[in-house]
Homo-oligomer: A and B are copies of this chain.
Amino acid sequence: MDWEYWSQRLVEEELVENGGYNEYGTSGVGGRAAGVNGNGPTKLVDPLEDPVPGVGTYEDFNTIDWVREKSKDRDRHREITSKSRQSTVALLHSVSDAFSGWLLMLLVGLMSGALAGGIDISAHWLTDMKEGVCLNGFWFNHEHCCWTSNETTFQERDRCPQWKSWAELITGATEGPFAYIVNYLMYIVWALLFSFLAVTLVRAFAPYACGSGIPEIKTILSGFIIRGYLGKWTLIIKTITLVLAVSSGLSLGKEGPLVHVACCCANILCHLFTKYRKNEAKRREVLSAAAAVGVSVAFGAPIGGVLFSLEEVSYYFPLKTLWRSFFAALVAAFTLRSINPFGNSRLVLFYVEFHAPWHLLELAPFILLGIFGGLWGALFIRANIAWCRRRKSTRLGHYPIIEVLVVAGFTALLSYPNSYTRMSGAELISELFNDCSLLDSSQLCGYQQPSNISETGVGNTLADRPAGPGLYTALWQLALALVFKMMITVVTFGMKVPSGLFIPSMAVGAIAGRLLGVGMEQLAYYNHDWIIFKGWCSPGADCITPGLYAMVGAAACLGGVTRMTVSLVVIMFELTGGLEYIVPLMAATMTSKWVADAFGREGIYEAHIRLNGYPFLEPKEEFEHNSLAVDVMRPRRADPALAVLTQEGMTVGEVESLVESTHYSGFPVVVSQESQRLVGFVLRRDLLISIDNARQRQEGVVSASQVVFTEHAPSQAPDAPPPLRLRGILDLSPFTVTDHTPMDITVDIFRKLGLRQCLVTHNGRLLGIITKKDILKHMAQIANRDPDSILFN
């Protein structure tokens, strides 16, 4: 998220973009707009009158009112149902309306699956481009290029004659230090080129396309409006720059941004259906499902995706959304599979199959991995937030392009010599998860040949074996890769390119896990007479699977960073398909969460939400303080009295001057100034639009006209100007709590009902108002943070 860009928008108000959600925003492009969108009739307007355009819509960077939105949708549904009895066309309309949700889900699934497939293929191609080019056609990636080759074994197929490394192509040399240096340089050049393209495209066309997008999507789903964040420009630029960023070799993944891409698809497709275009709450249901789709295509784990959306991203997740998310996630996964980007007909990103079960005693190292994951998660969040804060507050933030180029160049420079950092994050994880079979030629499987130990391990060709020199080299390289990945990821996440955290976090954990796994294996092999190994790890038995340790480590680290639990375990479960490994995964993720929580309750997404000051009311954390509503409400004791309107007796001029002298986004309407008995609540935006509209269209409305909120206009002097009747925009059912209501209950009400504001009464008299922002400020104050860090309405 571009902090600088945002504060500019707030302070200078220069970048308010054209159109609105209705035209799915074009952030960064276009000039100033009035902000009045031609939305249709709303509940608040008397259906007999012509609705005033713009009433019932929201301004950018404001919070929606869930209750009103859902009520609006129910009204719309009622209208369609009652009309459906009148004619066949209306009946068809009603049926198509009922199925439009499913159709939309189908489209979201298809589009996201296709896009994810395209991203996978392009990223694969561009990544290979850094190393060489295919003579049959530059658009083939390495593997594809060698498909037609006659070489049959995997090793040799990798070196087919059609594929030329850059050194070979430029100098003709295939071996030797000179060729190595040429390849090294080309690698760095491509990395710099890709990252430069990515960051400039983001800067030029869609500043919202940077980062993982999940913190912002969480905020949007909780009811905040960020126009253009899920628009078509963001989608196009994010898709392109994601491919570039991943290919540049930076320590980032494409899994988080895929959630953003899927949400953009959903938001754009929403515009095909009136039901979703015009209703912010309904649209958010679709976006929740899209988040599930994103994870589903990222990992090939539809159930895990749904649980991810439920556990991590969504705010309001009714059962209907559960069904639909599941459907969309499945469609997307199968679309992706038919595109078959991984080339193995597998649905999942990392297909794993382990041969040996695990032993109960292995829980100890698994829990150790959980502790490592938790510590790394807590450390990463602190370091990353500190670095991002530094970027915001110092001159560093003014040179995002240079920053990206420096980090990319540095990453390329350091990662090329080490084969484990040179390969992409997903490949690395895949290799680490792999269970060594006898014929495996990978360095990680460089065990001593079993010929000399076959006497003991008859029949079991997968038995634990002593490590050979290949494996020792691999371990050293892995240890270096671990340190490098841990450092570089901290500065990479938060740069102005699309960047996901899943793959780098998992890579860190997988390396640590694999190291521990191999260590355990060797320990068991050389000391199988120790008590702890007795009985289950005799010589010749295949008792320890280092790949499983890598998987558990990956889950632990990802869990420490994001604080996911169930969804993480289910994603991992879907990768292996074996219930057997749920217990190790569960033990590690739970430990990781507990350890990380001990250092700070926030996951990386919550930390970034707070860093950016979004108005997000965390649904997971309990409000623990025992303050009352009266302590939080405005006006405070020393403040001037609450600005209220009376239901009759005020003139248009008085109302206008009251509105202009304050900055509140809404005003309570009371019976009279003396009684302070509450009648309703009117929004500033609706009030201004209605008065403007009336002045332009309704004859005789002048500043001296009375503003009337009652049902029947009071009798007036015959020569008085006609009154302006505004009951239509008055919300007659504002939420109220009493001044004695404990804040924990009030916060619960805000969260569960998705309120924007709530009025406070004492013995039936209006006393004050509590907004979502007041609550967030109060919570910040309790946590000894700066209450002014909450930026938006």
Binding site for B on A (CB under 8 A): 43, 67, 70-71, 74-75, 77-78, 81, 300, 302-303, 306, 310-311, 319-320, 322-323, 326-327, 330, 333-334, 347-348, 565-566, 569-570, 573-574, 577-579, 582-583, 586, 590, 619-620, 622-626, 629, 671, 675-680, 732-734, 736-738, 740-742, 744-745, 748-749, 752-753, 761, 763-766
Contact = CB atoms under 8 A, between A and B. Distances in A.
Nearest to A732: B740
Contacts of A625: 78
B303 A311 contact: no
A533 B11 CA distance: 67
A628 B14 CA distance: 45
A299 to B, nearest CB: 12
Contacts of A753: 748-749, 752-753
A789 B529 CA distance: 72
A744 B570 contact: no
Contacts of A577: 577-579
Contacts of A306: 566
B327 A590 contact: yes
16 contacts: A70-B744, A78-B624, A302-B579, A302-B582, A319-B620, A322-B566, A326-B566, A347-B579, A574-B579, A577-B579, A677-B765, A679-B763, A680-B740, A732-B740, A733-B737, A752-B752
Contact of A70 (B327, B624, B671, B748): B748
Contacts of A586: 326-327, 330
A738 B303 CA distance: 42
Nearest to A746: B733
Nearest to A742: B71
Contacts of A326: 565-566, 569, 586
Contact of A303 (B303, B748, B752): B303
A570 B677 CA distance: 53
Contacts of A75: 626
Contacts of A77: 622, 624
A677 B765 CA distance: 8
A70 B763 CA distance: 24
Given A310-B322, A676-B764, A753-B753, 18 more contacts: A70-B748, A74-B624, A74-B744, A78-B626, A300-B579, A302-B582, A303-B303, A311-B322, A326-B566, A327-B586, A671-B763, A671-B764, A678-B763, A678-B764, A733-B737, A752-B753, A761-B764, A764-B765
Contacts of A749: 753
B733 A736 contact: no
The 9 A-B residue pairs with the shortest CB-CB distance in the complex, in nearest-first order: A677-B764, A733-B741, A732-B740, A764-B764, A752-B752, A577-B577, A733-B738, A326-B566, A677-B763
Contacts of A574: 579
Nearest to A582: B330
A586 B323 CA distance: 10
A326 B679 CA distance: 47
A327 B586 CA distance: 8
Nearest to A764: B677
Contacts of A745: 67, 71, 733
B748 A738 contact: no
A58 to B, nearest CB: 19
Q: Which of A77, A333, A586 has the most CB atoms of chain B within a 10 A radius of its CB?
A: A586
Nearest to A300: B579
Nearest to A304: B303
A289 to B, nearest CB: 12
Nearest to A75: B626
Nearest to A625: B78
A577 B583 CA distance: 16
Contacts of A748: 67, 70, 753
Contacts of A738: 680, 732-734
A766 B677 CA distance: 11
A586 to B, nearest CB: 6
B565 A323 contact: yes
Q: Which of A71, A620, A624, A733 has the most CB atoms of chain B within a 10 A radius of its CB?
A: A733
Nearest to A566: B326
Contacts of A626: 75, 78
A71 B744 contact: yes
Nearest to A311: B319
A681 to B, nearest CB: 10
Contacts of A679: 763
A625 B77 CA distance: 10
Contacts of A671: 763-764
Contacts of A583: 330, 334
Contacts of A320: 620
A746 to B, nearest CB: 9
A348 B171 CA distance: 61
A441 to B, nearest CB: 29
Q: Which of A300, A586, A675, A763 has the most CB atoms of chain B within a 10 A radius of its CB?
A: A763
Contacts of A740: 680, 732-733
A87 to B, nearest CB: 20
Nearest to A761: B764
A569 B329 CA distance: 13
A151 B223 CA distance: 69
A103 to B, nearest CB: 14
Nearest to A333: B579
Nearest to A679: B763
A638 B136 CA distance: 89
A45 to B, nearest CB: 14
A493 to B, nearest CB: 25
A217 B733 CA distance: 34
Nearest to A576: B577
A284 to B, nearest CB: 16
Nearest to A619: B319
Nearest to A81: B624
Contacts of A736: 736
A197 to B, nearest CB: 36
Contacts of A566: 306, 322-323, 326
A638 B394 CA distance: 72
B622 A74 contact: yes
Contacts of A570: 303
A526 B31 CA distance: 70
A74 B569 CA distance: 30
